[in-house]
């Protein structure tokens, strides 16, 4: 097999998983997973703050803060956790999609439209490279997002428990 047949890839560049990975890691929202922990925490706090700005008026319409301060506070916290979790889900799903495309031994692509999809089997060298990218670049991002989901789930569980006991 000559070198040109090994490097040949019929998949259009913008549909190649490694190109999708490069685009994702450079995009504004998805680069958050690659930030240092302090910067990442500030970004999540920023999303939580704006979630709070959306949730407070809704909670005030359901619970009057002067009459039901505990229910008001707990409903605000649960709302913030849910909105922040939804926001993180967008980041997670983007990285998960690229991870699945990189790990797969086949690339599904479209030549000119939705009606003419093709599948191309990756050569072993490309598959090894893609799986290394998954192991060393994408898995740590997904692991960080899982930890963040765990924290959010813990806050929701504690708030729900407090609600059941005291409200």
Say if residues 145 and 92 touch (Cβ distance below 8 Å): yes
The residues with which 120 forms a beta bridge, in sequence order, are 107
Average pLDDT of every residue of the chain: 92
Distances (CA, A) of 30 to 25, 75, 76, 94, 120: 6, 29, 27, 8, 27
- List the domain boundaries for the chain: 27-166
Task: Give the pTM.
Answer: 0.88
CA dihedral sign, ordered 49, 50, 53, 59: negative
The CA radius of gyration of the chain, in Å to the nearest whole number, is 22
**Which regions of the chain are under pLDDT 70?**
1-7, 113-115
Element (H, E) at 119: strand 117-121
pLDDT of residue 11: 86
pLDDT of residue 144: 97
CA proximity to 134, closest of 21, 40, 29: 21
pLDDT of residue 114: 65
Q: Give the span between the Cα atoms of 107 and 48, in whole angstroms.
A: 37
């Amino acid at each position: 097999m000559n070198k040109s047949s090994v490097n040949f890839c019929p998949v259009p560049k913008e549909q190649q998983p490694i190109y999708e990975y490069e685009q994702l890691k450079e995009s504004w929202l998805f680069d958050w997973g690659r930030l240092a922990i302090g910067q990442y925490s500030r970004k999540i706090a920023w999303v939580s703050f704006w979630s709070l700005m959306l949730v407070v008026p809704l909670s005030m319409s359901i619970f009057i803060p002067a009459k039901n301060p505990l229910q008001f506070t707990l409903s605000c916290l649960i709302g913030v956790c849910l909105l922040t979790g939804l926001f993180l889900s967008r980041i997670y799903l983007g990285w998960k999609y690229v991870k699945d495309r990189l790990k797969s031994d086949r690339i599904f692509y479209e030549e000119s439209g939705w009606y003419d999809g093709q599948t191309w089997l990756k050569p072993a060298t490309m598959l090894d490279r893609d799986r290394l990218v998954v192991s060393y670049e994408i898995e740590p991002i997904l692991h960080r997002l899982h930890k963040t989901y765990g924290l959010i789930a813990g806050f929701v569980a504690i708030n729900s428990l407090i609600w059941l006991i005291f409200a």
